Amino acid sequence: MAVLKRWDGAAWQPVPNGDDLKYWDGAAWQIPTALRYWDGAAWQNGWLKSNPRTYFFEATDTESWRSSGWRVSGDHVYTGSWDNGDHIGVMVFNTDTVYGETMAQAMSTRPTIVGTPKLRLKRENSVHGYGGEPGGYSDTIYLGSYTGTIRSGDADLSVDITPTSTYTSYVLRGETIEINMDNQLITDMQGGRELWVANQTSAWSATGGQDHSYFKFEGAEVGLVPRVEVTLDY
């Protein structure tokens, strides 16, 4: 493939993909999306506007709900049940920690998602739930966008399951995991939505049982904060 080059006074130097190349449109300097050339059969890219940034959005608020209501006794993110009902954990993300931008601001200039976004969660190293992997058992944790507002109403009425992302493995006490996120969840965050996590997508029980996937994840105020990592480009 041909490469765009510039003369530096001594030799031709390649112009890397990025956002340094500009043209004058009669009123202001603009960055083109691409420069293309005809190879005799089709138009090919010789230079692309590209300057990917990796953003880290840490949760600013977290809470968990079960049929008896919002726990409000702490900000931990729970999944599953331990005798007292199935949980839904809800997480709020505002600005990223590197550039100080909201997801909407970041995607207004860099709308293309590069690679796979991830949600980081750490299970608290406490006596909650099973201490070790019970007989090779694994369960599925579901992640989706939340249409409601944290601590308002019944969380099971605000769970959007289209789409959901999943993590299937047992989570040990003190273990940190990453859940690969569907790109649509990033788009939903751009629109201002929160995220939910649970060990099921419907039929939350008021009593539950003692789930293998009863996990107490650290929240926004204590421990390793839940974090969304996403790389965006033009």
Distance of alpha carbon 96 from alpha carbon 228, whole angstroms: 9
Cα angle 146, 54, 191; round to 5: 30
Q: For the chain, first and last CA: distance in Å?
A: 21
Q: What is the mean pLDDT of residues 144-157?
A: 97
Around 164, how many Cα atoms within 13 Å sit in the side-chain half-sphere?
Answer: 17
Q: Which candidate, 163, 146, 164, places its Cα nearest to that of 155?
A: 146
- Assign 91 a pLDDT band (cuts: 50, 70, 90): very high
Q: Catalogue all structural domains in the chain, each as residue range(s) with its CATH number.
A: 5-48 (no CATH), 53-233 (2.60.120)
Average pLDDT over residues 97-116: 96
Residue pair 80/211 in contact by the 8 Å Cβ criterion:
yes
Closest by CA to 216, choosing from 89, 112, 48, is 89
Bond prior to 163 in cis (omega within 30° of 0): yes
What is the pLDDT averaged over residues 177-182?
98
Express each pLDDT in 38-80 by its tens digit. Answer: 999 999 988 989 999 999 999 999 999 999 999 987 899 999 9
* pLDDT at residue 74, rounded to an integer: 82
Query: What is the reported pLDDT for 133?
Result: 65
| Two structure tokens written together for 32 | 């083109």
Q: Give the Cα separation of 89 and 98 in Å (integer).
A: 26
Report field, pTM of the whole predicted structure over 0.85 = yes
pLDDT higher than 80, residue 81: yes
Predicted confidence (pLDDT) at residue 132 exceeds the cutoff of 60: yes
